């Protein structure tokens, strides 16, 4: 019987972080649609397991966890030590203190800087009707996003991936943000290192599944 349940709609960036990791590591799960038009996340039953009323939430054989980055880290830590995928743990989320801290640094940065810049742009262009858009707010967010991507591009000028020479957990949220950035109809400056990195992360199974098709 499948013990891992993931609540969350498939088009949510935070749910996609978890689904991408499952795709890359071939982790088996069942998914329950929740959020926006699916409802569920504001029901008393759901609020008992996630008082934020947000997605994703997981249950691993009764162990409940929310916050997408915490879930990603947990899914790696729970791999059995004799698993053939344990080597994935070492490179995707290194146990070595400094290498692991750099992954955490970039994961936190996506939540505190990159996504807050990108979210209003995504929401405005994808989820709002044209007459509901505030073009000045959208332009302010585009500028904030250019600032964030200038910094990320600089990082990528001396490392192949966000936190070093290997693909790590830190690349997943950033790739999902970049996918949205490249898909919305705005003017974008050229970021050469970002483009090179984007082609590399484009080879991952998770990217192929969750960074194709229209934004919804």
Q: Which is nearer to ligand GSH, 191 or 207 (CB)?
A: 207
For residue 58, the minimal CB distance to ligand GSH (Å) is 10
Helix 192-201 / helix 135-158 crossing angle, nearest 10 deg: 80
Q: List the strands of the sheet with 63-66, edge to edge.
A: 30-32, 4-7, 57-60, 63-66
**Binding window for ligand GSH (CB under 6 A); candidates: 23-31, 35-43, 122-130, 179-187:** 35-43
Residues 6 or more apart in contact with residue 137 via CB below 8 angstroms: 120, 124
Which one among 19, 21, 22, 55 touches ligand GSH, defined by CB under 6 A?
55
Q: Which is nearer to ligand GSH, 67 or 85 (CB)?
A: 67
For residue 95, the minimal CB distance to ligand GSH (Å) is 23
The span from the CA of 56 to the CA of 33, in Å, is 10
Which one among 19, 21, 22, 54 touches ligand GSH, defined by CB under 6 A?
54
Instruction: State the number of binding residues for ligand GSH (CB under 6 A).
Output: 11
Q: Does 110 bind ligand GSH (CB under 6 A)?
A: no
Cβ neighbours of 66 (radius 10 Å): 18
**Binding window for ligand GSH (CB under 6 A); candidates: 53-61, 77-85, 175-183, 194-202:** 53-61
Which one among 7, 46, 68, 171 touches ligand GSH, defined by CB under 6 A?
68
For residue 14, the minimal CB distance to ligand GSH (Å) is 4
* C-beta nearest to ligand GSH: residue: 35
Q: Does 36 bind ligand GSH (CB under 6 A)?
A: yes
CA-wise closest residue to 160 among 128, 198, 134, 123: 198
What does each C-alpha distance from 88 to 99, 145, 154, 168 come to in angstroms?
A: 14, 31, 27, 9
Which one among 41, 110, 141, 168 touches ligand GSH, defined by CB under 6 A?
41
Q: Is 102 helix (H, G, I), strand (E, B) or coil?
A: helix
What does each C-alpha distance from 187 to 142, 145, 178 come to in angstroms?
A: 9, 12, 14
Q: Does 13 bind ligand GSH (CB under 6 A)?
A: yes
The span from the CA of 206 to the CA of 182, in Å, is 17
Residues 6 or more apart in contact with residue 86 via CB below 8 angstroms: 79, 80
The span from the CA of 87 to the CA of 166, in Å, is 12
For residue 170, the minimal CB distance to ligand GSH (Å) is 14
Q: Which is nearer to ligand GSH, 56 or 94 (CB)?
A: 56
| Residue numbers at the binding site for ligand GSH (CB under 6 A) | 12-14, 35-36, 41, 54-56, 67-68
């Amino acid at each position: 019987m499948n013990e891992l349940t993931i609540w969350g709609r498939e088009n949510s960036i935070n749910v996609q972080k978890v689904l991408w990791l499952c795709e890359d590591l071939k982790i088996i799960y069942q998914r329950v649609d929740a959020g926006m038009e699916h409802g569920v996340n504001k029901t008393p039953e759901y609020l008992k397991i996630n008082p934020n009323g947000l997605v994703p939430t997981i249950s691993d054989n009764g162990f409940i966890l929310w916050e997408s980055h915490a879930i990603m880290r947990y899914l790696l830590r729970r791999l059995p030590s004799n698993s053939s995928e344990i080597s994935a743990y070492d490179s995707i989320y290194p146990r070595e203190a400094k290498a692991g801290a750099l992954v955490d640094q970039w994961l936190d940065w996506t939540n505190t800087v990159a996504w807050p810049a990108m979210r209003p742009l995504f929401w405005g262009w994808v989820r709002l009707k044209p007459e509901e858009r505030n073009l000045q707010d959208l332009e302010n967010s585009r500028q904030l996003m250019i600032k964030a991507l200038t910094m990320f591009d600089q990082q990528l000028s001396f490392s192949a991936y966000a936190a070093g020479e290997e693909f790590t957990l830190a690349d997943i949220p950033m790739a999902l943000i970049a996918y949205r950035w490249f898909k919305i109809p705005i003017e974008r400056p050229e970021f050469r290192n970002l483009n090179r990195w984007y082609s590399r992360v484009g080879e991952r199974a998770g990217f192929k599944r969750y960074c194709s098709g229209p934004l919804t």
